Amino acid sequence: MFKFRVLENSYGHKKRLEFIVKQIEKYCLVNNFDKNQIRILDVGCGSGLLITLPLGSLGYEILGIDFDENSIKFANTQNIFKNIKFEKNTIENINGVYDIILACEILEHVEKPIEFLNTVKSKLKPNGIITLTTPNGYGWSEREAGLVSWLYGNKFLKRIFNKLKGHNQDITMNENDKHMQKFSELSIANIFKDSKLAIVARENGPVFGGPIVERTFARLPGFKTISNKLGDILPAKLVLVWYFVLKNY
């Protein structure tokens, strides 16, 4: 399907990409746009491998920005498309407006989420949409964090753990990339409300995911499919990550 193929992992990266593609296609259909008539901005694009490059390979005009210089340098080495550009930049310094702005697993990394969303809105066309994904701060992956810290406290267990390999695509080259926020279903809804953003579409990601699951159960046939399907039917508070489409009031 994609020139830059995204393989599924326990974090639901392929499921996320499919959600984004579906929302972009819906936006074009509703507004009677061809894909070459819209402009997309990917904020915090990282290496570009998981979203920017796959979308660009479908023919969309897209700009990926990130403040991490190494990530942008890497992304540019992978870019073979004229309709894709990568820049070391921040949303505050972007000129012009866009039909669709992507902010995937970015909100938890910013100090002031509402201020960030207001800035994103200022770069959006009047009928534009924001596609945003963010982890459930109380989901499975967050619970794994304590166990991983315990494993890393033991040199022998750390060595064994690091030898176990899971599916990996470099998301970012920024080694200092840390979460600054932890959202619940209620708190993320309140942030959108305070930013005067309406949720017009949403889906759940997988249920089980994290560095331990990725190296163990996710290697079993069918595990990732089951985790994704459970995410579709279980309450949002139980899933790993949420996908949203947002629009101005």
How far, CA to CA in Å, does 97 sit from each of 26, 40, 120, 127, 147? 20, 9, 10, 11, 43
Question: What per-residue confidence (pLDDT) applies to 161?
Answer: 63
Predicted local distance difference test score (pLDDT) of residue 163 = 65
Q: Domains of the chain, with CATH numbers? A: 13-140+167-248 (3.40.50.150)
**Low-confidence residues of the chain: pLDDT under 50:** 1
CA distance 244 to 225: 21
Angle (CA) 177-189-104 rounded to 5° is 35
pLDDT of the residue at 1:
43
The Cα-based distances of 234 to 27, 48, 238, 240 in angstroms read 27, 31, 7, 11
Question: What local confidence, expressed as pLDDT, does residue 199 receive?
Answer: 97
Task: Give me the amino acid identity at 140.
Answer: W
What pLDDT does 166 receive? 59
CA-wise closest residue to 210 among 185, 241, 173, 179: 241
